[in-house]
Amino acid sequence: MAGVDAVTAGVDTAAAIVVLGQGSLETARRIQAALPAGSRVYGLSGRVEGADVTYDGFGETVTGLHRDGVPVVALCASGIIIRTLAPLLQNKRAEPPVLAVAEDGSAVVPLLGGLQGVNGLARRIAEALGVAPAITTTGDVRFNVTLEAPPNGYVARDPGASKAFMSDLLGGATVRLEGHAPWLAQSRLPFTPGGERCIRVTPDDRAPEDGTLVFHPKTVVVGVVGGGEDLPDRVTAALAAAGLARAAVACVLAPEADAPSAGLRRLETDDGWPVRFVSASADPAVLVATAVPEAERDRPVWLTGAVAIAVARAPEAVRPVGHARGHLSVVGLGPGSPDLLAPAAREALRCADHWIGYETYIRMAERMVGMPRPEQAVHATDNREELDRARHALSLAAVGARVAVISSGDPGIFAMAAAVMEALHDAADPAWQGIDLDMVPGITAAQAAAARVGAPLGHDFCILSLSDNLKPFDVILDRLDHAARADLAMALYNPVSKARPWQLGQALDRLRTIRGPETPVVLARDVARPDEAVRVTTLGAVRPEDADMRTVILVGSSATQTFPRPIDGGTWVYSPRWYGR
């Protein structure tokens, strides 16, 4: 447990310090030393050497960081950054801090993010640089505090009330402080014991009288054992019985084995409480003791029944203990180019603590999204160990990690999603069922290849893998046979490899016994990658040596058409929407 006594909000988030020229690197490093661990210096490529991260476009980089909620300290004219971010500004409650700092460190200007602690950041940076911050927020200037944005560990009971309250104080009203909050006590608010107004800091759920502003400190920890559908109702009842405000809950603690409980999940999603897992106990009182030592605890509230609940109250705001629910994303990279990567996939890669995948796909992801960051662990493994890789990913997520398992194309097509499902289905550890698991789809090779030549898969089609690693070759031939007889267009994956040199020839021969030699065939190699090569031919002409393991082969149906593409001498291919024979 650690008490939270930051004087202003937002100051414990790692920031990006963005520099445009070599001359400001030294100032940037001094700023970095004053900011939270994990803050990094971004240097413009070609201009700045020795930065932590090199970027290409200033505008894209800063807007990307801003969108991701990262505080930005830009060593440039404030006008540049204002112009860059102006089109994005929408929600003052959610916007992260943005500051401009003069290249030589002589001026520190908080620009945006007043409700996310920009003034606190400005003070910290200015102190490190030995200058006065250019703070313009009236209440902050006079009283050294932003009531609208209490620091982490405190929430306003009525966020809308603080603005008018501050206006009254600026107008000369006096105020008294009830309860314990270092950030208020250390401010310059005109506190006097008999003040007309009152700022009360309390976890109690009591409506304030007029002229009183209430902040709830996050001092309440709820321990729950046994999960259960009705958990949200029971926790609500327990808090009501204790007279404690919902907003004062710092965290709900539960045993890891309860992670699959739907009621527990709803406490996170519907009630918005951080749920934290600890590897121990079946006793809720022991659970809360991990966050709130017994000596500091008010009398716990007990509710017996299927779900055991303990509620404890610490004297100070508590930080959550244990670990959060783990998250596993099985991410499809698409065929290879960054513009065919889904934003959701990019986001999953950005958020992950661990990247797991076949080495080739890890390298591909690195090229596509310019990551991983130094704090992201990379586990590159050999392609054949799919189930082991899936279990490794699940075991990391079960103890709270955010994990991305990486596949090319779509993860559900001859890739990792099925392996993760299989590992989860067989899981011995119940905590695995409590992992927040999602599949992030990608554009599969067949779609990417089809798009290059028109619409060869415009009607019914099937996708087949010619790999006999995991299924007998007889089955492959039999399926090709049926697909050809059903007159489906086909996308053939894994057509050939060093270990399987002869299978493709047999497969094509089998198709030729059913489909005519004029049937259009597309050979698409490395689609959406630098060495892309796409060729249109026919079933009569195609040879096994025309394909390798980086090729996907599309075979038309009897209705598939081709016609010339004069603009580049190529050929259009399509399967019409109608069907008639």
Q: Which residues are at the interface with ligand SAH (CB under 6 A)? A: 335-336, 407-410, 413-415, 444-445, 449, 493-495, 524-529, 549-552
CB of 394 to ligand SAH, least distance (A): 20
Instruction: Judge whether 196 and 211 are in contact, CB under 8 Å.
Output: yes
Q: How far is the CB of 49 from ligand SAH (least distance, A)?
A: 35
Amino acid at 552: V
CA of 366: how far to CAs of 41, 149, 380, 438, 448, in Å?
20, 37, 12, 21, 20
| Residue 317, amino acid | A
* Nearer of residues 62 and 445 to ligand SAH, judged by Cβ: 445
Q: Which is nearer to ligand SAH, 477 or 534 (CB)?
A: 534
CB of residue 106 to ligand SAH, shortest distance in Å: 52
Return the number of the residue (241 or 475) whose C-beta is nearest ligand SAH: 475
Handedness of CA 391, 397, 403, 404 (dihedral sign): positive
Furthest-apart CA atoms within the chain: distance in Å: 98
Least distance from ligand SAH to the Cβ atom of residue 407, Å: 5
Q: Kindly tell me which of 180 and 550 has the beta carbon lying closer to ligand SAH.
A: 550
CB of 248 to ligand SAH, least distance (A): 48
Indicate the length of the chain as a whole number: 581
Paired strand residues for 310:
223, 302
Is the Cβ–Cβ distance between 402 and 351 less than 8 Å? yes
Shortest Å distance, C-beta 568 to ligand SAH: 19
Pairing of strands 377-381, 402-407: unpaired
Is residue 424 within 8 Å of residue 437, measured between CB atoms? Answer: yes
> Residue 169 and residue 212: Cα distance in Å, rounded?
12
Q: Decide the pairing of beta strands 175-178 and 249-255.
A: unpaired
344 vs 427 by CB, closer to ligand SAH: 344
Q: Say if residues 535 and 550 touch (Cβ distance below 8 Å).
A: no
Residue type at 322 in one-letter notation: G
DSSP state of 507: H
Specify the residue, 468 or 526, whose C-beta has the smaller distance to ligand SAH: 526
Q: H helices then E strands: how many in the chain?
A: 17, 29
Q: Tell the smallest beta-carbon distance from residue 18 to ligand SAH (Å).
A: 34
Bridge-based pairing of strands 561-565 and 570-574 is: antiparallel
> Across the beta sheet with 53-55, what order do the strands follow?
53-55, 40-44, 16-19, 72-75, 98-101, 108-112
* Helical packing angle, 359-369 and 343-351, nearest 10°: 110
Interacting residues of 338 by C-beta distance below 8 A, sequence separation 6+: 367, 368, 369
In Å, how far are 201, 248, 320, 376 from 238, measured between CA atoms?
21, 13, 19, 39
β-bridge partners, 354 = 377, 403
Residue 247, CB-side half-sphere exposure with 13 Å CA sphere: 18
- Among residues 181 and 415, whose Cβ is nearest to ligand SAH? 415
Shortest Å, Cβ 549 to ligand SAH: 5
For ligand SAH, the closer of residues 114 and 411 by Cβ is 411
CB of 492 to ligand SAH, least distance (A): 7
Shortest distance (Å) from residue 363 CB to ligand SAH: 14
Which C-beta is closer to ligand SAH: that of 8 or that of 447?
447
Locus of tokens 């244990």: 322
Of residues 105 and 335, the one with the C-beta less far from ligand SAH: 335
Give me the amino acid identity at 46: G
Task: Say how far apart CA 308 and CA 261 lie, in whole Å.
Answer: 14
- Smallest distance, ligand SAH to C-beta of residue 524, A: 5
- Residue number, 398 or 547, with CB nearest to ligand SAH: 547
How would you list the strands of the sheet with 461-465, edge to edge? 461-465, 489-493, 551-555, 520-525, 533-538
State in angstroms the smallest separation of the CB of 448 from ligand SAH: 6
Closer to ligand SAH by CB, 445 or 477: give it: 445
